[in-house]
Chain A
Amino acid sequence: MTKPDVFQKEEHMLVLQNVNKHYSSITAASNQNISLEAGNVYALLGPNGSGKSTFMKMITGLVKPDSGTILYKGQPLSSQSKLDISYMPTESYFYSYMTAKDICKYFSDFFPDFNPNKFYAFLNDMELPDNLKAYKMSTGMLAKLKIAVSLSRSSGLMMLDEPLNGIDIISRERMTATIAANSGPGRIMIVSSHLVDELETVSTHAIFIKQGSIVAAGSIEELRNQTGLGLVDIYKRIYA
């Protein structure tokens, strides 16, 4: 496998050029160059601390790169880009007083693409109450709520950071299917997880990050043809 080259096609929706980010002695992003196309689901893979969350947070604007450029639909990231970017962080980020109803109101207020009907359908499907305050919810409930919020938007770029964390094994399959169902043409979906085999079933492409560097990227089919290995075995080969 070789490191990916940057190739400029017009349909590249998200482009990272020479992006670097360091936290004192830790390299979170090292000369990242990659272009992502609409209509694909990218599995963002790597061990803890490899830079997956930093990758997503730089695109969302929560973390500022030390250098480099991130272009979304050909334009540098701005506050207006956030209208079309949906991000689900690993952290629980709801205000403690918020119930699911409050969260629905909040996202409806700020994001025109947020669909309250879809959100309540998710709540129903996940058996989540709409009147329980966030500080009273369990880890699993909050994890499901975060997914429900993110998938209720119809943004062009959707990023889910470890969406299957804290979700029981039975619900995980349904959650994976739900994530897959929300991908589609015109949308980039980036999903990070340690559960490589579960991601493989829903992803079209994979991006492997190691100590902040993108060490391999491409369509899963191409990676399989090149190496003769499945995604799990490629993962083991890179990180073992």
Chain B
Amino acid sequence: MLKLLKYEIRKNIAPLMLFFLALALLEGYFLICYSNRDYEAIDLAIVLLVFATFLSFFIVFALAISSYSRELKNKTIYLIFMTPNSTISIILSKLIHAILTAFVVACVFAIIGIWDINLYIDLFDAGQISAKDVLDVVLASFNTSISSLILTTIFTVISVVIVFLTYVVMGYLSITISATLLSNSKAKGLLSLTIFIVFVIVYALIVNMLPKLSTYPETVLEYLYSILPQIILSVISIILMIWGTSYLLDKKISL
């Protein structure tokens, strides 16, 4: 599977680099505004960077899905499926690649965020505030300890990864179902989008019906505990959808 992952990374590096180039241009704009002390433009740059942060979730998702869809369409998927690898390991390598991409993008945004926050604080001659001071303020406002904060962060990251994976696997299954039903038809793109939307709606309806374990969570950890049924549902859904995608690729689809 490591070899499969290596080639997943290699073949998807170009669009990711384009994304980072766009991000670098945005950050460059912020730095230019910062050096010119143009406060209005700085605020605009920050808004754009925050917007890019939220957009990146969808971009990483879109990169993962479009890569799979493109391979099925242009037959480069033959390269992977002619290798002596099981269908499950092929799918898992794609999913691991999606998670790694999301993680790298998140790290890049985190680094940029921390750097830019420090620069922004400096603008107001508050350079005496250190990272520890900021941390103390955060801990005090949430009435929590550092160990609790670390635990919260870990569980939040795990929850976000699970939710992200759920939608990626939903996308894979939608594309696979439409390729099974409409192998060479041009309508297969529209069908996969329709199936995906149906999956999202059905999933949201089921999540809504699930009980919440805590009514008024006061901390992030309590909130995560309250959505534990949803997390468990997501994990089960991921396993079932991976199995479904693998089954269709193994038994039904003509590549």
Contacts and interface: CB of A to CB of B under 8 A. Distances in A.
Interface of A: 21, 23, 57, 60-64, 79-83, 87, 89, 91-95, 97, 106, 109-111
A110 B84 contact: yes
30 contacts: A23-B254, A57-B255, A60-B82, A62-B78, A62-B82, A62-B254, A63-B254, A64-B251, A64-B252, A64-B253, A79-B84, A79-B85, A79-B87, A80-B84, A87-B82, A91-B75, A91-B78, A93-B75, A93-B76, A93-B78, A93-B79, A94-B79, A95-B76, A97-B14, A109-B3, A109-B6, A110-B3, A110-B84, A111-B83, A111-B84
Nearest to A96: B76
Contacts of A111: 83-84
B80 to A, nearest CB: 9
Contacts of A110: 3, 83-85
B144 interface: no
Contacts of B86: 79
Given A23-B183, A62-B255, A64-B252, A94 B76 contact: yes
Interface residues of B, number: 24
B134 to A, nearest CB: 43
Given A23-B254, A95-B11, A62 B84 contact: no
B84 A82 contact: yes
B183 A89 contact: no
Q: Which of B3, B83, B253 has the most CB of A within 10 A?
A: B83
Given A62-B81, A62-B254, 10 more contacts: A23-B254, A61-B81, A64-B253, A79-B86, A89-B78, A91-B78, A93-B75, A93-B79, A109-B3, A109-B6
B20 interface: no
A58 B84 CA distance: 15
Contact of A63 (B3, B10, B75, B255): B255
B215 to A, nearest CB: 50
B58 interface: no
B57 interface: no
Contacts of A64: 250-254
Contact of A106 (B7, B14, B85): B7
Interface in B182-216: 183
Contacts of A89: 75, 78
Closest 7 CB pairs of A and B: A93-B78, A110-B83, A63-B254, A82-B84, A91-B75, A62-B255, A83-B84
